[in-house]
Amino acid sequence: MSTQTARLEVPTSGQIYRNLPTALLVEESLARNEGVLAANGALSVGTGDRTGRSPNDRFVVDTPGIHDDIWWGKVNVAVDEATFDKLYDKVKQHMRDRDQFVFDGFAGADPSYRLPVRIITEKAWHSLFARTLFVRPSAEELASHEPEFTVINACMLEADPTTDGTRTGVFIVVNLERRIVIIGGSQYGGETKKSIFAVMNYLLPARGVLTMHCSANMGRDGDTALFFGLSGTGKTTLSADPGRRLIGDDEHGWSDDGIFNFEGGCYAKVIRLSEEAEPQIWNAIKFGSVVENVVMDESRVIDYDDDAVTENTRVTYPVEHIDNCVIPGVGGHPKTIMFLAADAFGVLPPIARLTPAQAMFHFLSGYTAKLAGTEAGVTEPTATFSACFGAPFLPRHPTRYAKMLGEKMEKHGASVFLVNTGWSGGPYGVGERMSIHHTRALITAALSGELDRVEYENDPVFHFAVPKSCTGVPTEVLTPRNTWDDKSAYDAKAKHLAELFVKNFDQYRSEASEEVITAAPRI
């Protein structure tokens, strides 16, 4: 890596604001009409027509030094260096006559593995977003900070697909050899966060660190737990447990020393957020937080139930806004791992214990379900499979991460549970959403060891072990078939979901061991 790349700057005739503190970034955002203050003190912003990530507009520059390492295809779409250079020139030209906001910090709470990053933005609130989400350096660390990866977020610049080699006006282009990410055409804050997550997913496995799309917390005795899951499955909600200390809500590494958070903040969905069900997140939304695309009344009180702008309403806040968080965000080797799935088919049990082989199968599957009405043409629950619970962020082949997880689980004796945070008593539209109180009781029982001392029964389709009792949870809820009025309808739906699992796993079959292959549902 060249010094020139590490010290990357974008020349401008405007003002450069370097590492402004939170209060000044809020002031700049308000002065520039980028947002308004909500009643709870958070900065409320809109992201235009892009209210979520644009995964189909993400590209990786194909260079000889990385070509053989990348999982090329739909997730990692290749562009050549000439295409990157053309877009990079447009980004630099766009930024030349604009004020710029620069944030210098780190991805990674463990100094042994952290990545020094520089985030250059044209909007003040994007710099506040970066300051909130990444690890903030001390004054001493900032004085000697040498960025090793730079993100340039030119959000108001749109590409021309006819000449720039893009699909739309949006582009997120990762150049791993030159250590630059350029972003344009989207104001959605998550693009900056996830671009660096993808970078960490490329760099750290080569150093023996498993990178994970999961949340993590710690018990009073120091025991660490991980919560894997796709968006909307409950990673942030369930890891923000008043009885445990939060390490992080979304991105972690697992090294030979234990786990560590990649971030210095949390990025949570807030649609239908309630103070009663999620008090820690509710109380974390205050001055220094950024809420995206929420609806407010005339008094600027946020209506978290209103999805008029998007279902994907979001908040970002420093991890310190969570009471009793772990600073720095490091922990020991995990004792318990949870795979979260919001099963809208209503056939998975609220919790099941997995064998190591089943854990590998379900990690590669990364299952959850889309609900009817969330996308045009979706009229009934639709299965979604995302390898390692984070396929859009994996530069390397999923089996690389799965193999590392298996090795670390075996070495450190971690127990794995599959948790259904979705529906019970029928599919979406018929059954009811799993009670969060029951889910929390089941997770508490798994973490405390209570579920090690109860009887189990084998699920006849998925063949994982389902507990027959748990404190605080009605017995009939534990076996999903018992919650359905129409047992034959349950059997048909369970068979259908099992078939979808098997079909999805075909893409990994040639790379999987016989033990993992036989852990699939039997249909």
**Which residues are catalytic, by number?**
53, 194, 213, 231, 235-236, 250, 314
Q: Which of 97, 264, 273, 70 is nearest to 174 (CA)?
A: 70
CA distance 383 to 406: 25
Instruction: End-to-end CA distance of the chain: give it in Å, rounded.
Output: 52
Q: Phi, psi at residue 245, to the nearest 5°?
A: -100, 130
Peptide bond just before 328 cis, omega within 30 deg: yes
**Contact predicate 83/164, CB 8 Å:** yes
- The answer to whether 178 and 90 are in contact (CB under 8 A) is no
Q: How far apart are CA 320 and CA 232, in angstroms?
A: 23
**Would you call 311 exposed, middle or buried from its count of C-beta atoms within 10 A (0-12, 13-18, 19+)?**
middle
Strands 290-292 and 314-318: antiparallel
The closest alpha carbon to 181, from 148, 144, 133, belongs to 148
Stated length of the chain: 523
8 A C-beta contact, residue 414 and residue 87: no
**Taking a C-beta distance cutoff of 8 angstroms, is the pair 402, 207 a contact?**
no
- What DSSP designation does 122 have? S
Cα–Cα dist 516/501, whole Å: 13
Strand, coil or helix: what is 5? helix
CA distance 459 to 481: 10
Q: Tell me the DSSP string of 300-311.
A: --EETT--SS-S
- Asked if 324 contacts 246 with a C-beta cutoff of 8 angstroms, the reply is yes
CA angle, 114 as apex, 11 and 135 as ends, to 5°?
70
